[in-house]
Amino acid sequence: MKKLIVAGLIAFIMMVAAVVFLLFYRSRGSVRLMAEKEYAVNDRITSYDQRDSEWKDERLGNSSYTIGSSGCLLTCITSAISDTEEKTTPKELNKIFSEKGVYDENGNLQWGILDEIDGFHTEVYSEVSQDIVDECLEKGRYPIVKVRTMHGTGANHYVLIVGAENGEYICMDPLKGSFTTLEEYGKKIFAVRCVWYE
């Protein structure tokens, strides 16, 4: 009986250690953000749902991936430029990107090609920091940040930071088609991109 209890205890400890390791592993390379300044959310920013029936089945370029399955970046960009004269929908912007060869064969965005389209400007940051996020917001631009779903432990995903209030960054989440806070993703980001139109 004692051996059974010890074996059960060892198995439990190993399971807990594996979970802790997995959580730590999935968080590596991330930066935790706590908003120290207030940035008002522009009421002209439109939140889009990548799974909207109007465009969810549209393919990203010539790939087999669709806006509904893999279009969070596209949807974030559409929202990021929604306060400009170039207001468009994910479907319309996807058509432009597809025609201009912005996607590779796997539906990944090619930032250099996007930057060559008239009016579009991109910044792909090699590091991740709160200063970069705040700098974008101070310039009136909206950082697209890579997060993990399920409070920072799930699948990779991109959301658009549109402001900050009460110590929280406000995000437009393409999977929800609505605004939420970075708290929903464990306040952790793994990459920063910025796209604007002028």
Phi, psi (5° rounding) for residue 95?
A: -65, -45
Report d(CA 157, CA 32) in Å as an integer. 16
> What pLDDT is attached to residue 33?
87
Contact 137/39 with Cβ under 8 angstroms?
A: yes
pLDDT tens-digit series, residues 103-159? 999 999 999 999 999 999 999 999 999 999 999 999 999 999 999 987 766 889 999
Superfamily of structural domain 30-197: Cysteine proteinases (3.90.70.10)
Amino acid at 50: Q
What is the pTM for the complete model shown?
0.84
pLDDT tens-digit series, residues 17-59? 444 444 444 445 678 988 999 999 999 999 999 999 999 999 9
pLDDT tens-digit series, residues 66-118? 999 999 999 999 999 998 877 799 999 999 999 999 999 999 999 999 999 99
Domain locations in the chain? Answer: 30-197
